[in-house]
Structure 1
C-alpha cells in the first residue's frame, strides 16, 4: 500500500506523525486496527507520545527511530504506536498520569510507555538514549528487557495493572454535595504564589521556568493601584523580566515555551500558540495598570508575529514553530557578534551591543548570543535599536526557518482568539480584531459540523471529536470577542457550544465535566481535570465561562452547571488550591457575580464610550456594546434604541436605572473594588 520505508503514519494529518512516516519502525496511529493487532497477536504496545516542536522528541527520533537496527528490535517485539499529544490530549493526560504512578517521577515528552494489549501501561519513561548514558539504559536493551517481562511476569504485571487502574480512578473527583463556598482558598492561593515568587528574576521557583499565565492572571486581578501591592509586584516584576529576557524574541516578537535558567535568558526555542494567546491578555492588562511602553511593544510585536507567521490564509492559527532548524536547536534565533556588527552601522552597533548584551560573553553554548534586554536604551538609542531590529529581522529571514506545525487546533485557536480580541479592545486595533474574527469564522465554518465540534484541521480535513478544552476555551473566547465587537453570530455560537458542553461532557450525577465526550472511544480512564497545566483547566474555564454566559443571558442552566462543577472541586481547592487558578477565577465570580454593562445607542457615540471604557481595568465586568442598527437581540440584551447612549449596569440580578452620563458610569463601576 505504501512505498518502501513508509509506514501507516503517511496518511495522517499531524505534521508530527508525518515526520515519522519514513522511519524503518512500523509505526501505527492510535486506532482500532493497531489495538486489534496487539490483542490478536498478544503483543505488547510501545506507545510514543510527542509533538512537532519538541527538541528531545527529535533527538530520540534521530538516534533510535531512524536507525534500522533499533527499528528491527522494536518491530520484532512490539506493536509500535505514535501519538501527537496535541491532537490526542486525552491519551497524553492518561499516560502522563500513569507514568507518574509507575515511576514516581514527573513526565514530559517524548513519553515512552509500554502497554499490555488492553492499553494498560506496565513500564515507561520519557527520553531514552540509544546507548547507555545520563544514567539511562540504552533503548534497544531496554526494549528487550521490557518485552521479556511481558511474557515471563504476566502475573505481576496483571496485578500492577489492577492497582494502576484503581489509582487512575482514585484521582477523578466524586461529588460531595452542595458546598458552602467562601473566599478562603483565594487568600491561601495568593499566599502560596507570593511564597514561591522569585523576587530577583520574577516567576515562580527556580529553573526551568515557565510563564504560568493563569497564576499571573489570578494575581493581576488583585493588582490595581491601592489594592494588593504584593500581588502587583509579583506580576509586574515577572512580566518585565520575561520581556527583557531571551525567552522573548526581540527581533520577531512572541514568546518561547520556557526558560532553561532562572533569569529567562536561554529558552527552549519552540514557540507555542497556547502560550502567546494568554500572554497577550496579561501584557495588555499590565499596560493598563502601569502604562509601561515595554508592555505595549510586547503586545504589538507579538500580535504582528501572530498575524505574519501563525495565521493561515483561511484564517485559523497554526499550532507552533519548531525549536530546531538545520538539526540544531536555536540556530534560527541566535547570533554571532561579528555577523551583527557587519549588518549594522557603527552607531547602531554600539547601541545594540550595550542594550542587547553583545558586549558580554556569549550566553548560548559558549559561542553564540541570544539577545536580551541587558541595559535600558537612552532616548538617542531608541531609533538606533529600531533600525537595528529591522536589519536583523531582514537578515534572519534569509536563514532556514524552523518548521511550522500548521495543523489548526480548536482549543489553542480559542486561546489566541481571546488574546487578540482582548488586546484589540485595549489598544483599539481593528486589524487585531479582524484577525480574531477571521479565526473564529474559520472554526465555526470548518470545525463546527452538524452541532458537533471537531478538534483539529489540516490540509482540508477536519476530524477527531473535540474535547472539553475545545468547548470551554471557545465559549470563553467568544465572550471576549463579543466585548470587543458584538456580532450576533458569535453569541449564537457561544450558546450552541454551551448546550453541547452540557449535553456531551457534564457528569450529571457528580458534577463537573469529563475531558472527553460521552460518545468518545472508551479508554482505560476518563479524566475530569481540575488543575491547570500548560493550558488552563477545562473545568475551571468551563465554570467561569458558563457563569458569565448565564449572567449575560439570564440562563439558569448554565449557572447551575457551573455551580455543580465548583461544588465538585471545592474539597480539593479548599484543601490545596495551588495549581487551580482557573477554578479560583470561577470561584471569585460565584462569590461576587460579574458586573454586566450593556450600552445601547448611536454607533458614533458608542465608539467614543467604548474607547473610554477600554482604558479602565474591568476584570470583573462583561461589557456589550449594541449599536441601534442591531435588531433581533436576545431578550436579555434587547434594550430599547435611543438617540443618546444609555447604559444598563447589573450586578448579578440587581440592575440599576439606565445611565446616560459617562462620568456617572465611571463613578458607578469604580466605587466598589470587587476583589476577594
Structure 2
C-alpha cells in the first residue's frame, strides 16, 4: 500500500501513484521493518530534482522493479527539503561509503536505521559503470539473507564513525582572526576561474556566500582582488545560461565550467541569496564609481558598467521572486521544476528557426548572435540555452530599445509554453533568506514595495509557523540583557510543553509535522532583524529575540570550554502528530558546520546572534556568536568555499560590526524628514561589512537609540555601543562608514 497520498510534501505526492509500498519517515515504517525482519530502502530527493524524476519513471513506476522493492524491503520516501536533518545524516553516510553524494539518494538500512549500503541514482540497466537498480536490489536482498552479520557489523562501524564527527566540532574556541580572513580570501582568489568566473571546474554552483564574504572583505580592507573575483563571477553568471535572460532568476547550477547549460530547477534559497549579493555588488561598485571608496591596488576597470549590470540583475531577480515564487499567502514557494512535459529545460531553450519565426528576419539573426543560439545548439536536439554571448552588441546605437523589444517578444511567446511545476511548500528558513534580501535590497534601491513584500512574508511565516506569538507592534524589546520576552500564542498554534516552537514547512497554510531546524530558527531570526532595521517595527525584533532564545536553549550544549551547536533541538517536538506518525530518533544528532547551497545552521546562528548582539548590546548573544564561529578557522585555511557565510559573519565580527543609530527628533518638519531620509539612505548604502541599523526617536525604547539626543536628525556610528562623534549630514555619515 502506497501511503503518500495524504502527505503534505509535493515531492512525496509526486510518488503517491507509484506501485511501491511507500511509507513516510515514521515509527510505523521502522516497526514494520522490525516485525518483518527486513532492511529498509530509504529514498531521498526533492520536487524540482531532474534525476529524481528520471529514477522515478525508470524504476519506481516499473512493475518488475517495484515488485522486488516491495518483496524484500520496507520502502521509505523522504523530501530532503522538509526533513534536512534526515538528509544530512544519511548524506554523510553516502559520502563516507562512496566518496560523493547527490540526489536522488538511495540508502539501505537495518531495521533500526543504521546504513550499510548507499548510492545516488541507479539506472534501470547497467550503464556508465553502475549496476542496474534491479541488480542492486537482488544483491542487497541476498546479502541480507545470507551474510547479515557482516552487513550489521559494517553498519555499526559506520554509525560509530558518524557519531564521532559532532564531538570533533567542539574542540576549538576562537573565532576567525583578521589573518584567517585574509588567508581565506587569498585562497579563494587562487581557486578562482580567471577565464569563466566562479571557483573550480564543472559543475558550478552559484557561490553566493563566498561572493558576500569577498564583498565584505573588500568593504573592510579595500582589497581590490577580492572585489575583482566577486565582480567577475557575478558578471559571468549574469551573462550565462544559468541566469534566465528573459524572466530573471538563477538556475540551481551549471553542468559546465562556462555557466552555459544549467540544471534548470530554480530554488528559492539561491535566488534569495543572489538578490542580496547583486544589491551589495551594486552598492560597492557605485561607491567606487563615485570615487568614494579606496582600494589597496587599482579598482575595477569600469565600476559603472558592473553597477549597471548588478542593478538590472538584482531588480529582475526580485521581480522573479515576487512573480514566480510568491504564494497566495504572501510567503515564498520552494522551487520551480527543471522539467516540463516530461523533459528537462524545454520551457527555456530555443533554436535559430524559432527565433527567426518569432522575431522576423531583422531581429531573429541579431538575437541568435546575441544569445549564442546556433544550429548545433548548446543543449539537446539542436536547441540552445539563452546566454549573453555577445554583450558588445548591446553597446551599439539603438541596442537598448532593440534589447527590450526582443526580450519582451520572446518572453510573451515563452509564456504560452507549458510552465514548469512549482513546489508550493513554504520553508521557514528559506523565507527568512528572502525576507532579509528583499528588505535590504528594498532599502538600498529605495523600493518600498520590496520591503512591503518582505513584511507580508514575515507576517505569514510568523503567524503560521511560530507558536511563540508575533509581539505587539510598537512595543519595546526586552533590552540588552538578552532575556526572553513573554509573547502571546500566535494563530500558528499554542506554546508547547517544551516552550515555543517553529515548524519548518507549510503548504497552503497547512503545517507539516516537521519541526524547525537550527537553520530555520536562525535564518528567520536574521531576516526579521533586517526587517526591523528596514521598518522600525519592534515586533520583528521581539520575535527574532524569542527565536534566538530557543536556539540557545535547545540547539546548543556545553562541551568543555566550547559550545556545540546541533541542527536539531534537544527537546522532542510537541508537533509530531498521532502515535502512528511519530518520528523515530535519528542514529546521529546532526551538526554539520559546512555552508553548501545555503548557510549551515551553525553559521546562520552565528550571523543572527551577532546581528542581535549588535542591535541590543547583549554580551550573551555576542559570546554565543563567537562560539558558533570557533570551528571555522580550519575551514578558512583549508576549504573556505564551504564556509562562505560563516566567514562573511566573521568579517562583520572583526569590523565591529558597525552599529548605526539614526535618531529622529519628535515632530520633524519637511526639512528634517528630508535630512532623515538622506541619512537612512547613506546608512543602507554604506559598505561596512555586516553593519546594523536602528531608526527611531530617542524615547522609542530600543537599546541602540537610548540616551542619544537628536535636536535634528542625527546619526551615531558605534562599535559595542561606543560611538564616534554624531553627524547630521549624509555625506559625513558616508565618510564615517568608509573609514
Match of 2:651 in 1: 588
**Aligned residues of 2:220 and 2:651 also touching (Cα < 8 A):** no
Please, which of 523, 544, 550 is the counterpart of residue 586 of structure 2? 523
> Shift of residue 574 of structure 1?
5.8
* Residue aligned with 2:431, SS: helix
1:652 aligns with 2:720: yes
Moved more, 410-419 or 121-130: 410-419
> Shift of residue 604 of structure 1?
4.5
**Aligned residues of 1:418 and 1:481 also touching (Cα < 8 A):** yes
Match of 2:351 in 1: 336
* Residue aligned with 1:379, SS: coil
> Shift of residue 359 of structure 1?
5.4
1:284 aligns with 2:279: yes
Please, which of 452, 455, 477 is the counterpart of residue 501 of structure 2? 452
Match of 1:270 in 2: 265
Match of 2:470 in 1: none
1:157 aligns with 2:151: yes
* Residue aligned with 1:454, SS: coil
Alignment of 1:210-225 (within 5 A): 210-224=205-219
Alignment of 1:23-422 (within 5 A): 23-103=18-98, 105-172=99-166, 173-176=168-171, 178-179=173-174, 182-224=177-219, 227-288=222-283, 289=285, 290-291=303-304, 292-358=307-373, 361-376=376-391, 377=394, 378-422=396-440
**Aligned residues of 1:512 and 1:561 also touching (Cα < 8 A):** no
Going from structure 1 to structure 2, the CA distance change for 1:606 and 1:360 (only over 3 Å counts) comes to: farther
Structure 1 vs Structure 2 CA RMSD: 2.0
Q: Distance in 2 between matches of 1:524 and 1:505?
A: 17
- The count of corresponding residues between Structure 1 and Structure 2 is 663
Q: Distance in 2 between matches of 1:251 and 1:206?
A: 26
Q: Distance in 2 between matches of 1:564 and 1:39?
A: 41
* Residue aligned with 2:282, SS: helix
Going from structure 1 to structure 2, the CA distance change for 1:635 and 1:578 (only over 3 Å counts) comes to: closer
Moved more, 202-211 or 224-233: 224-233
1:430 aligns with 2:448: yes
Alignment of 1:523-672 (within 5 A): 523-570=586-633, 573=636, 577-601=640-664, 602=668, 603-626=673-696, 628=697, 632-638=700-706, 642-671=710-739
Q: Deviations over 1:188-219 (max 9, x none)?
A: 21122111111000011111111111111111
**Aligned residues of 2:115 and 2:155 also touching (Cα < 8 A):** yes
**Aligned residues of 2:683 and 2:733 also touching (Cα < 8 A):** no
Q: Distance in 2 between matches of 1:276 and 1:578?
A: 19
Going from structure 1 to structure 2, the CA distance change for 1:345 and 1:618 (only over 3 Å counts) comes to: farther
Going from structure 1 to structure 2, the CA distance change for 1:48 and 1:181 (only over 3 Å counts) comes to: closer
Which ranges in structure 2 are unaligned for 5 or more consecutive residues?
A: 286-302, 468-494, 573-583
Q: Distance in 2 between matches of 1:413 and 1:615?
A: 24
TM-score normalised by structure 2 residue count: 0.86
> Shift of residue 226 of structure 1?
8.6
Which ranges in structure 1 are unaligned for 5 or more consecutive residues?
A: 1-5, 672-676
Going from structure 1 to structure 2, the CA distance change for 1:41 and 1:271 (only over 3 Å counts) comes to: same
> Shift of residue 270 of structure 1?
0.4
**Aligned residues of 2:661 and 2:704 also touching (Cα < 8 A):** no
Q: Distance in 1 between matches of 2:120 and 2:275?
A: 32
Moved more, 221-230 or 131-140: 221-230
**Aligned residues of 1:13 and 1:459 also touching (Cα < 8 A):** no
Going from structure 1 to structure 2, the CA distance change for 1:458 and 1:32 (only over 3 Å counts) comes to: same
Q: Distance in 2 between matches of 1:193 and 1:39?
A: 49
Going from structure 1 to structure 2, the CA distance change for 1:31 and 1:501 (only over 3 Å counts) comes to: same
* Residue aligned with 1:176, SS: coil
* Residue aligned with 2:716, SS: strand
Q: Distance in 2 between matches of 1:139 and 1:231?
A: 46
Q: Distance in 1 between matches of 2:124 and 2:529?
A: 49
* Residue aligned with 1:436, SS: helix
Q: Deviations over 1:464-483 (max 9, x none)?
A: 11000001111221222223
Going from structure 1 to structure 2, the CA distance change for 1:616 and 1:268 (only over 3 Å counts) comes to: same
Moved more, 213-222 or 59-68: 213-222
Q: Deviations over 1:609-656 (max 9, x none)?
A: 222333332324212222x4x965334433567452022221124223
Going from structure 1 to structure 2, the CA distance change for 1:197 and 1:577 (only over 3 Å counts) comes to: closer
1:472 aligns with 2:529: no
Going from structure 1 to structure 2, the CA distance change for 1:540 and 1:133 (only over 3 Å counts) comes to: same
